[in-house]
Amino acid sequence: MFNLRSSLKTLATGAVLAHALSLAMASTALATPAQLIESGFWEQEVQSGDLPPVAERVPEVPLIVDLEAKGRRFGVQGGTLNTMVTRSKDIRQMVVYGYARLAGYDETYQLQPDILLDFEVEDNRRFTLKLRPGHRWSNGDPFTSADFEYWWKDVANNLLLNPTGAPDYLRVDGALPTVSFPDETTIIYEWAAPNPSFLHSLAQASPPFIYRPSAYLKQFHADYADPEKLAEEVDYARVKSWAALHNKLDNMYKFDNHELPTLQPWINATSGKKIRHLFVRNPYYHRVDSKGVQLPYIDTVEMEIVAGGLVAAKTNAGEADLQARGLGFRDIPILRKGESDGAAYKTYLWGNGTASQIAIYPNLNVNDDQWRQVLRDTRVRRALSVAINRAGINKALYFKLAKPGAMTVLEASPFFDPALREAWAQYDPELANQLLDQAGLSERDSYGIRKLPDGRPMELVVETAGERQEVENALQIISDDWRDVGVKLVMRPLDRDILRNRVFSGTTMASVWYGWDNGLPQTYTSPAYLAPTDQVFLSWPKWGQYHQTGGDVGEAPDLEPAQRLMELWHAWEAATTDETRTKVWQEMLKIHADEVYAIGLVAAAPQPVVVSNRLRNVPTKGTWAWDPGAHFGIYRPDEFFFEDGKG
Amino acid sequence: MEILRYAIYRFGTMLLTLLVVSVLIFVIINLPPGDYLSNQIAELRASGQSSGVDKAEFLRKEYALDRPLWQQYMIWMGFMPGPHGFSGMIQGNFGWSFEFDRPVAEIVGESLWLTVLVNVAAVLFVYLVALPLGVLAAARSRTWVDYTSAFVGYLGLATPNFLLALILFYYGHKYFDLPIGGLMDPAYEGEPMTWEKVKSILIHLIVPTFVIGTSGASAMMQRLRANMLDELGKPYVETAIAKGMAPARMLTKYPLRVAFNPFVADIGNLLPAMISGSVLVSVVLGLQTIGPTLLTALKTQDMFLSGFVLMFVALLTLIGTMISDVLLVMLDPRIRYEERKR
């Protein structure tokens, strides 16, 4: 272990040494803790002069965390956290867990400045971002507005690097912002029309990084680099152009270039693709606890890439200190068994952030005329919904631990209303039969299956991504429920990408996916995903395409409630008060509950989170959500620590 | 001379076959709608991440995925200049893997020897188990030896590999402290070969070898048993026994050699199996062989990577059959290449 650590550090300090240390004296601002404590991990490097002392490494105004005020314990530095992922590209999870963002959410989903010292917003059009003076990249380069300028001028708007021009998420009504950089620590983004989602998009699990380490990347940019050296580098990397090289090296989210400086709490210290990736503490990280200990508490993170099916077995064998990824509801028994067999971990059951664990999406844009007409009939969708015995599914598949109900937001959202969860979610085959009869599907064949108006039997083909056993089990149960009301369900497992492409092209009649990704909307969350704005809501692929392409492909929404959803979304965009926004949200959720665009089955299924007995500050109750939440991100893994710093 | 002429002729047809195979592979990989990058863009949009989209758009242009399919094929093979001049398979550029974000040659090169290692171990296991058991079962046919070995063999064949693997992992870890998954302790990855590393690999090989081997062994056992029983009924066997030849020597001297003939012909299939064998088992056990890579590449439509691996396997199959054909000619005087009757 010892030699490993030193070789790691040479890797990391190599980058630190890369530039001359010309440090401005850190003026101890009011907020700094009286005494910053040097980390044991970097002690040697500091003593040998390879690394400046901690007081010079943190920004002049670090972000100070009072853990006791948060109801957590002050920790000690040290230890190695073991965790597992299932694909080699999942090392990006360290950027998700690390969750250092310009502005990020806290545990109550409120936006707080994080990397930024502060931000100012003027009527959602003009955003002034203030950086922390003296903030540095993980290799010691100063982090200033020049890094934002480099990205905006030399990356986003460079047609060789981005053939399609500046990215879409910065366009409001097609117009790009004007961006200015008045001084070293100020960046101003200004749009003509309001862009209320701008700061929130920066707080995502996978945020758009509107800055790049310019000092490092300029050596790969044709406008700055020495042409001969650059040609050599391009050749060496076996790519075809300097643009390809630059695009390969500047992935701040992919985290796959260990030489790329970062602002995250842990730096990638493993080059290339390995089975085990090591991440070491960022000596320049901007967060400090109020006792003067620089975060993160944990020195190194070891991330091992294992086959998906083995995560539970390996966790059960005690090989992970913190693990939720790759574990699902069905693994809880084996995890509990490991506990009772004396493994040194606990299994917490967290909530789940998606609006529904399983939801069936009838495709309102299916190519088959007859089916399209049938599925567009609200009565049919309601019938299919009330024909399902959700309590039975919850009992059979989730040991009654999930919450049966229609698809709507979760309790943690201010818009939660129990009536919406119960809407058309009761088990009532009687009613389902009535509704289907009213919808003109009363003819049945000799097997008792209803006939479509054109005489074909009512066989609804439901396609799945074929990734989750629980979906297939649920559909088995539903196929019996639906048979009772004269509808035959045919299940077709496909592959994720193929399923999407089939839905987008209108081939699929109905598909299964999770409910809305974000089941925890707050007043500031844009309700765009409730309106037909995007093909990824699998019930209206063509309406979504129509909006996404400005009417080039797809179809305009031609059902009144869907049009109303569009209007409401625009109303939200134009809204100025939280009151109006809340009203909009409530009405949109009500439309979804009435219209049953997606048939939700159960919500809030527990997500097992395995935590080592020595690991502290991990909340026993939390929500495992991608956005907002960044999985562990909003719970700040940089504040987790090992008892006595040994792990 | 006859053989040389034949070999040259075979080589010519081989190249043609490869060309046809390459077209087929390319078409089949591109049959599902969409391509890796458009799927990735859909995926990014689905999870509300707009930040990666521009990168994907760049790659589409860089690797000519925005062009018609036939042009993509020509560029891939190197018959036509791409956005940056000629660079395809013929020029020795095997393309780029989008999924792993590295050159294809690197990915394949790394996992190649591990793949061969796992499959060689499995093949050895199969031979070591199946040969003696098959012969025994034939020699003692319709006795408890025969039935037990058949029962064990069928059990191995019938148990789903992944289930067997998980059971073995769980109990192996519990009672013998065997590692779960992988082919070596990650600490040894990329390190030079040492005795410690070899030991680590061997320990990690126990479960996979057993799992892959059990299913193969029983099939081979039954075939050998059937072939042997055919031979054992022949008059020369009775003659030999009547003349007082020791049964064990008699068994191995003639019947076994004849029964073994089909296995020589199988050598041709061994070569591609070294690369493409045991894909699913590798996926379940988390072995760093080419199998899981190929499966991922096929699922995500990472066409350059999957295309290359499939081409490689096709090439090996052709070489393998060629070798076994030539070998058979040399071994068995009864086989002759007749001039084609016109």
State how far the Cα of A284 lies from the Cα of B286, in Å rounded to an integer.
Answer: 36
Q: Report residue B39 as tokens.
A: 């799927």
Q: What is the DSSP letter of B332?
A: -
How would residue A63 be classed by pLDDT, with cut points 50, 70 and 90? very high
B66 close contact with A: CB closer than 8 A = no
List pLDDT tens digits, range A470-489. Answer: 899 999 999 999 999 999 99
A248 close contact with B: CB closer than 8 A = yes
- CB contacts, 8 Å: A241 with chain B: 62, 84
Alpha carbon dihedral A381, A384, A389, A395, in 10-degree steps, equals -70
A with B: how many residue pairs have Cβ under 8 Å apart? 140
Q: What is the DSSP string of B174-197?
A: HHH----SSSS-GGGTTPPP-HHH
Q: A285 Cβ partners below 8 Å, 6+ apart?
A: A58, A100, A263, A265, A294, A295, A296, A638
Mean per-residue pLDDT of chain A: 88
B172 close contact with A: CB closer than 8 A = no
Q: Where are the alpha helices (H) located in B63-143, listed in sequence order?
A: 69-77, 104-139
State how far the Cα of B89 lies from the Cα of B99, in Å rounded to an integer.
Answer: 19
From the CA of B42, how many Å to the nearest CA of chain A? 8
The more confident residue out of A627 and A157 is: A157
What is the predicted pLDDT for the residue at B336? 63
Q: Report residue A479 as tokens.
A: 């196929």
List pLDDT tens digits, range B24-67. Answer: 999 998 887 778 888 888 777 766 666 677 788 888 888 888 88
| Whether B48 and A627 lie within 8 Å, measured CB to CB | yes
What is the predicted pLDDT for the residue at A26? 35
Q: What is the 3-state secondary structure (H, E, C) of A347-413?
A: EEEEEECCCCCCEEEECCCCCCHHHHHHHCCHHHHHHHHHCCCHHHHHHHHHCCCCEECCCCCCCCC
The more confident residue out of A586 and B2 is: A586
CA distances from A174 to A4, A121, A155, B82, B153 (A): 51, 21, 19, 32, 67
Is the pLDDT score of A276 beyond 60? Answer: yes
As a whole number, mean pLDDT of residues A40-56 equals 89
List pLDDT tens digits, range B245-300. Answer: 888 888 877 777 777 777 767 777 777 776 766 787 888 787 888 888 888 888 88
**A residues 204..223 contacting B (CB < 8 A):** 204, 206-209
List pLDDT tens digits, range B289-335. Answer: 888 888 888 888 888 999 998 998 888 888 888 887 777 776 666 66
- CB contacts, 8 Å: B170 with chain A: 313, 316
| Whether A273 and B102 lie within 8 Å, measured CB to CB | yes
State how far the Cα of A607 lies from the Cα of A115, in Å rounded to an integer.
Answer: 30
- CB contacts, 8 Å: A316 with chain B: 170
B192 close contact with A: CB closer than 8 A = no
What is the predicted pLDDT for the residue at B335? 64
What is the predicted pLDDT for the residue at A22? 32
Q: Report residue B180 as tokens.
A: 């779960």
Full strand arrangement of the beta sheet holding A510-513: A488-493, A459-464, A510-513, A359-362, A599-600
| Whether B48 and A529 lie within 8 Å, measured CB to CB | yes
Sign of the Cα torsion A489, A495, A498, A499 reads: positive
- The 10 Å Cβ neighbour count of residue B104 is 23
List pLDDT tens digits, range B65-92. Answer: 888 889 999 998 888 888 877 878 888 8
What is the predicted pLDDT for the residue at A28? 36
pTM of this prediction?
Answer: 0.80
Is the pLDDT score of A17 beyond 70? Answer: no
Q: Report residue A400 as tokens.
A: 């009654």
Q: B326 Cβ partners below 8 Å, 6+ apart?
A: B3, B7
Residue of B nearest to A165 (CA): B54
What is the predicted pLDDT for the residue at A172? 85
| Whether A163 and B61 lie within 8 Å, measured CB to CB | yes
What is the predicted pLDDT for the residue at A16? 43
The more confident residue out of B256 and A335 is: A335
Mutate which of A240, A250, A306, A535 to disrupt the B interface (most B C-beta within 10 Å)? Answer: A240
Residue of A nearest to B285 (CA): A307
List pLDDT tens digits, range A370-393. Answer: 999 999 999 999 999 999 999 999
Q: What is the 3-state secondary structure (H, E, C) of A276-290?
A: EEEEEECCCCCEEEC
As a whole number, mean pLDDT of residues B120-138 equals 85
- CB contacts, 8 Å: B166 with chain A: 309, 313
Full strand arrangement of the beta sheet holding A178-183: A116-122, A126-131, A186-190, A178-183
B109 close contact with A: CB closer than 8 A = no
Is the pLDDT score of A187 beyond 90? Answer: yes
- Contact in structure between A185 and A132 (CB atoms under 8 Å): yes
What is the predicted pLDDT for the residue at A509? 93
State the helix-helix crossing angle for B303-331 and B69-77, rounded to 10 degrees.
60
Name the residue among A616, A593, A484 with its Cα closest to residue A79.
A616
As a whole number, mean pLDDT of residues B131-154 equals 84
Pick the range with the lowest mean pLDDT from A41-55, A233-247, A467-481, B323-337.
B323-337
> Shortest CB distance from A206 goes to which of B32, B49, B299?
B49
B100 close contact with A: CB closer than 8 A = yes
- Contact in structure between A403 and A503 (CB atoms under 8 Å): no
Pick the range with the lowest mean pLDDT from A256-260, A427-431, B193-197.
B193-197
Strand segments (E) across B206-272: none
Name the residue among A42, A644, A618, A630 with its Cα closest to residue A320.
A618
| Whether A627 and B47 lie within 8 Å, measured CB to CB | yes
Strand partners, A287: A63
List pLDDT tens digits, range A492-511. Answer: 988 887 888 889 888 899 99
B57 close contact with A: CB closer than 8 A = yes
Q: What is the DSSP string of A327-346?
A: --GGGHHHHHHHHHTT-SEE
Name the residue among B42, B26, B303 with its Cα closest to residue A497.
B42
Estimate the share of chain A in helix, then strand, then coil, as percent rounded to the nearest 5. Answer: 35, 20, 50
Burial of B236 by CB count in 10 Å (0-12 exposed, 13-18 middle, 19+ buried)? exposed
Strand partners, B235: none
State how far the Cα of A618 lies from the Cα of A70, in Å rounded to an integer.
Answer: 12
B42 close contact with A: CB closer than 8 A = yes
Pick the range with the lowest mean pLDDT from A10-14, B36-40, B94-98, B330-334.
A10-14
**A residues 268..287 contacting B (CB < 8 A):** 272-276
Owner of token pair 């907020």: A31
Query: How big is the CA angle at A134 (ends A128 and A137), to the nearest 5 degrees?
Result: 90
List pLDDT tens digits, range A165-174. Answer: 788 788 888 8
Q: A473-494 in b/e burial notation, b at 16+ Cβ within 10 A?
A: ebbebbbebbeebbbbbebebb
Is the pLDDT score of B131 beyond 60? Answer: yes
Is the pLDDT score of A2 beyond 50? Answer: no
- CB contacts, 8 Å: B84 with chain A: 240-241
> Shortest CB distance from B170 goes to which of A240, A309, A313?
A313
What is the predicted pLDDT for the residue at A535? 86
A497 close contact with B: CB closer than 8 A = yes
What is the predicted pLDDT for the residue at B81? 85
Mutate which of A160, A172, A500 to disrupt the B interface (most B C-beta within 10 Å)? Answer: A500
| Whether A254 and B101 lie within 8 Å, measured CB to CB | yes
What is the predicted pLDDT for the residue at B331? 65
Run of H or E residues at B96 = strand B96-97
| Whether A498 and B169 lie within 8 Å, measured CB to CB | no
State the helix-helix crossing angle for A390-398 and A469-484, rounded to 10 degrees.
150
B254 close contact with A: CB closer than 8 A = no
Helix (H, G, I), strand (E, B) or coil at A464: strand
What is the predicted pLDDT for the residue at A609? 95
Amino acid in the structure at residue A337: K
B39 close contact with A: CB closer than 8 A = yes
Pairing of strands A459-464, A359-362: unpaired
**B residues 9..38 contacting A (CB < 8 A):** 32-34
As a whole number, mean pLDDT of residues B111-138 equals 84
The more confident residue out of B259 and B340 is: B259
Name the residue among A242, A201, A30 with its Cα closest to residue A104.
A201
Chain-centre distance of CA A618, in angstroms?
A: 19
Strand partners, A188: A128, A180
List pLDDT tens digits, range B182-230. Answer: 788 877 877 778 888 888 888 888 888 888 887 778 888 888 888 888 8
Q: A523-533 in b/e burial notation, b at 16+ Cβ within 10 A?
A: bebbbbbbbbb
